[in-house]
A and B are shown apart, each in its own frame.
Chain A
Amino acid sequence: MELKRLFLKANNELENSGQGGKDRKVTCRKCQKKNTVTKIRNNNFVCPDCGHYFQVRARRRILMLTDRRSFIEMNRDMKSVNVLGFPEYDDKLRSAMDKSRENEGVICGEAQVDGHKICIFSMDSNFMMGSMGAVVGEKITSLFEYATVRNLPVLGITVSGGARMQEGMISLMQMSKVSAAVKRHSNAGNLYITLLTNPTTGGVDASFAMLGDITLAEPGARIGFAGPRVIEKSLNRSLPKDFQKAERVLECGFIDAIVTRSEQKTYIAKLLKIHGM
């Protein structure tokens, strides 16, 4: 990590309070009410007034869903390269790294949930909208291969705008690559649980997000293939309010259950227990 970045704070208003002893207040985007960071954090990053789901960073997700100190990260050092020499991509990568203090848009590793050993990947919307380039594809594929050899279940928390345009077809091919690794993991009789969070779209929706044995989603999460603005534009009319919302996607038959943040860990632990993992 560059020295400069050691002194940068994670650019997320909910991730850096407590330093200096002052508990800042944050305004909810939905109800405009102010609450202290501590209060929101203790409420699983849900607005205590209106129930709005704040965006949760990838590392925080892992903390929230796994046992304390059980997480061992894999492939943390992998960094993207501007293979195609795409305009402005180098700058975007640098600023994404600064902003997120992560090397890439997904964090992978091994952990435990209520004592059940699992492999976990967690995507980060603060890193170029959680878009999938070669490194994201590689890290998730490696995780599935690792889990296949060891017969471990995989828990995947998705949030993504889709394939990363700046890596062209290399990004698109990651959909195939990860899907094939999921298939091998499944053929070996292993469990794959996905937790879809807001938003899970594009190439991620059209590959590993939709391939879980059990598919869970957060309330209100947008889940879909095409962007709503694209559809609106091509149909020339406005879309129904619940379009691509987790609740509607469940009605359509593509999600097993919608699980609130406070219940997620217990829910997942129960699934692991039933599978005898």
Chain B
Amino acid sequence: MFKNTVNTTDDYAIVLEARSDKRLTASDYIDSMITDFTEFSGDRLFGDDKAVVAGIGFLGKMPITVIGIEKGKNTESRILHNFGSAHPEGYRKALRLMKQAEKFGRPVLCLVDTAGAFCGIDAEERGQGRAIAENLYEMADLKTPMISVVIGEGGSGGALALCHTDRIWMIEDAYFSVVSPESCANILWKDPGRAGEVAGALNLTADKLYKLGLIDKICRKNKMKELSEELKKEFEYLGTLKTEELLEERYLKFRRAGYRSY
């Protein structure tokens, strides 16, 4: 919406690229990495949110639950998937399937690509805040290994709601930010045109977040086979940990983010 007025910098170029409609979406990752993918629907509370695509399948020989935020491929499917902005039902569907994964001892892979949780009257009145909060809360001690990969946009709380996982990985040209650079510049200076300037300061790129210790790995783009091998290896490693160790490590991972580390 603000695209043309912005003075572009490298980090901001990454943000724009992450939004590009030519980019691979969650379903591309699922198609190329997961065999026998079987999609499930509904949060069992209100409805089915197509912004979140979720189901089960195999990663190599490993049965796995996959949850992805899907932006869609063409106008029609983008509308169907609400441009990758989930309502509370989407987050609740995700949580339902994570609990199912816990029950059957399957690891969970989250593929994150969203500009943010949907902003609307319905979304608010059905508890967008509560839905995100509940995911963070429940994922904190979900007794199965979980990895999230930010494949495109990591838009604030709407992305974080699928990232309370044992590992957070990012594709090298994805971004993850507390706020979009446009809104940030708008709030600070009432000038969305300065988004380019603020994008650098927000430290939203994969390499900067890695340096800050907030993500665990940077993955090369368009290397599905490599990513799938890396995921298999990491899930196998996490699978060797005792449940208490896994949960303690997960707790400490987020515990470290902030005050004491700086």
Q: Which residues of A contact B (CB under 8 A)?
A: 78, 81, 83-88, 134-135, 137-138, 141, 163-165, 167-177, 179-184, 187, 202-203, 205-211, 223-226, 230-231, 234-235, 239-240, 243-244, 248, 252-254
Contact = CB atoms under 8 A, between A and B. Distances in A.
A170 B258 contact: yes
A169 B125 CA distance: 27
Interface of B: 117, 119-121, 123-130, 132-134, 136-138, 140-141, 156-157, 160-161, 163-164, 176-179, 183-184, 187-188, 197-198, 201-204, 209, 212, 214, 250-251, 254-255, 257-260, 262
A84 B202 CA distance: 7
Nearest to A228: B124
B203 A168 contact: yes
Contact of B157 (A78, A83, A172, A182): A172
A165 B133 contact: no
A248 B177 CA distance: 31
Top-10 shortest CB links A-B = A134-B258, A138-B259, A173-B257, A205-B129, A179-B136, A180-B140, A226-B119, A225-B129, A206-B132, A210-B133
Contacts of A207: 132-133, 136
A231 B124 contact: yes
Contacts of B124: 224-226, 231, 243-244
B257 A174 contact: yes
B258 A235 contact: no
Contacts of B156: 163, 172, 203
A84 B203 contact: yes
A187 B141 contact: yes
B131 to A, nearest CB: 8
A168 B132 CA distance: 19
A211 B129 contact: no
Given A165-B178, A176-B254, A207-B136, A134 B129 contact: no
Contacts of A135: 258-259
Given A225-B117, A225-B124, A138 B258 contact: yes
Contacts, number: 179
A187 B251 CA distance: 14
B160 A175 contact: yes
Contacts of A210: 127, 129-130, 133-134
Given A141-B255, A180-B136, A172 B125 contact: no
22 contacts: A78-B259, A88-B188, A134-B257, A135-B259, A168-B178, A169-B209, A170-B212, A170-B214, A170-B258, A173-B258, A175-B132, A177-B254, A180-B140, A183-B141, A205-B129, A208-B133, A210-B127, A210-B134, A224-B128, A226-B119, A231-B124, A254-B127
A239 B121 contact: yes
A224 to B, nearest CB: 5
A183 B53 CA distance: 27
A164 B188 CA distance: 12
Contacts of A165: 178-179, 184, 187-188, 202
Contacts of B129: 205-206, 209-210, 223-225
Contact of B133 (A168, A181, A206, A231): A206
Contact of A183 (B140, B163, B202, B257): B140
Nearest to A187: B141
B257 A170 contact: yes
A174 B258 contact: yes
Contacts of A170: 212, 214, 257-258
A206 B155 CA distance: 14
B164 A235 contact: no
Listed residue (A174, A180, A207) with the most chain B CB atoms within 10 angstroms of its CB: A180
Contacts of A208: 133
A83 B141 CA distance: 29
A175 B201 contact: no
A182 B156 CA distance: 21
